[in-house]
Structure 1
Amino acid sequence: MAGSELPQAAHDRRGSTRSPAGTDTGFPNEVSLVAMARGGDLTAFEYLVTLYRERLFRLAYRMLRDRGDAEDVVQDTLTAGWRVLPSLERDDAFGGWVYRTATNRCLDVLRRRTSHPQDMLDPDADDPHFRATFPGTDPHRTAEVSAELETLRRALSLLPTDQRACWLLREVHDQSYAEIGAALRISPQAVRGRLARAREHLAAAMTEWK
């Protein structure tokens, strides 16, 4: 993305599976990686990128229904994450920060889509997170599960953006009500209300699969 780049180590070696210590054993936990990255360790930050890139893309793609926009959100969020590391008060605050930032960037993109309908589904979109494949199993069952996932995907796309964000952050990314509220700048009680409405809508949409 123009004017916004990850540190070079995260670009050049993001597919690496080597630990920051150069071995496959004793891999630091996430909090330790954040502490190392806060100290300027680019390799530790590379592993944070590896941890969060796919998670954030799943969230952004399901929010935005556009692969390019989702990739931009992830890139911008992780780039900003590198810059914000020194100012974090706690090493365990990085995960919450990236989810809040990615969610709000998605909402900003959606607000700019004033000339587009809310349902941004691309019939040719290849979303691996809503694609079911079961090698060696019954083709009929595979087709059935794929159709069920497609119904869920379409139902999600029709939710109001705040409800969609609440549902994804809670059901897919296992965020707490407090974390979701912080991301959306609403109270935990408001999160519960939006989740209840989202679940009601999705349950109605999925009735044929019960």
Structure 2
Amino acid sequence: MTSARSDAELLAAHLDGDRAAFAELVGRHTERMWGIAVQTLSHRDDAADVVQEALLSAHRNAHRFRGESSVRTWLNRILVNACIDRIRRESVRRTVPWPAHDVPARRGDTANDLATRLAVEDALAELPTEQRLAVVLVDVQGFSVAETAQILAVPVGTVKSRCARGRTRLARLLGHLREGA
């Protein structure tokens, strides 16, 4: 059963020793964090690791939350930083292409739906990290441009330009899907 406490109240309760409070925060935000990580990293195992790292970091550093943004924004900022760190580490270490996608088809997916989803994931992976994060947060996860700017710690105009450049590049990369329609 979910309590009526706000995220800020849950974080404060966690800091006061309420063990269930942080677990409730995790329950509220893990699904969206998972979505951001999967879309940003394009690999389910990496996404799972990064979400776990981000939540562990938030748990350990909850005392550093200053309340300048919402708890949701703070958690997503920690997640985005963990994603960026993972991308940087992988780009330094990777010497062979990533293995084929291990994303299982959802029930009812046709072969065409699966091919489209995989093409979109591949196209997102082609974007520079900054553009990919902006597009995933705004267009895939539905964050506002203002909240995305807070999460990424950049001006609103920067988010808008990164989204515009990312969408333009995605349109080029995914143009073949339009031609088949």
Q: Sort the TM-score into its range (normalised by shorter chain).
A: 0.7 to 0.9
SS for the counterpart of 1:175 is coil
Q: In the alignment, which of 102, 114, 133 is matched to residue 92 of structure 2?
A: 114
Matches of 1:105 and 1:208 in 2, distance apart?
A: 33
Q: Is 2:79 the partner of 1:105?
A: no
Matches of 1:120 and 1:32 in 2, distance apart?
A: 45
The answer to which structure has the higher helix fraction is: 2
Matches of 2:148 and 2:21 in 1, distance apart?
A: 27
Query: What amino acid sits opposite 1:173 in the alignment?
Result: Q
Alignment of 1:59-98 (within 5 A): 59-90=36-67, 93-98=70-75
Q: In the alignment, which of 126, 130, 133 is matched to residue 107 of structure 2?
A: 133
Matches of 2:69 and 2:8 in 1, distance apart?
A: 5
Does the C-alpha gap of structure 1 residues 151 and 66 become closer, same or farther in structure 2, counting only changes over 3 Å? closer
Alignment of 1:1-210 (within 5 A): 18-19=1-2, 27-90=4-67, 93-112=70-89, 113-116=91-94, 121-126=98-103, 131-134=105-108, 142-210=110-178
Query: What amino acid sits opposite 1:196 in the alignment?
Result: A
After superposition, the CA RMSD in angstroms is 2.6
Matches of 1:75 and 1:106 in 2, distance apart?
A: 11
TM-score, normalised by the number of residues in structure 1:
0.71
Matches of 1:124 and 1:152 in 2, distance apart?
A: 12
Can you list the C-alpha shifts for 1:78-99, whole angstroms capped at 9, x where unaligned?
Answer: 1121233334233962111111
Number of aligned residue pairs: give it. 177
Q: Which has the larger radius of gyration?
A: 1
Query: What amino acid sits opposite 2:94 in the alignment?
Result: H
Can you list the C-alpha shifts for 1:151-197, whole angstroms capped at 9, x where unaligned?
Answer: 11111111111110111111122223233233333221111111001
Matches of 1:177 and 1:38 in 2, distance apart?
A: 30
TM-score, normalised by the number of residues in structure 2:
0.81
Can you list the C-alpha shifts for 1:33-65, whole angstroms capped at 9, x where unaligned?
Answer: 334334322112111112222322222222223
The percentage of aligned residue pairs carrying the same residue is 29
Does the C-alpha gap of structure 1 residues 124 and 194 become closer, same or farther in structure 2, counting only changes over 3 Å? closer
Does the C-alpha gap of structure 1 residues 48 and 91 become closer, same or farther in structure 2, counting only changes over 3 Å? farther
Give the 4+ runs in structure 1 shifted more than 6 A: none
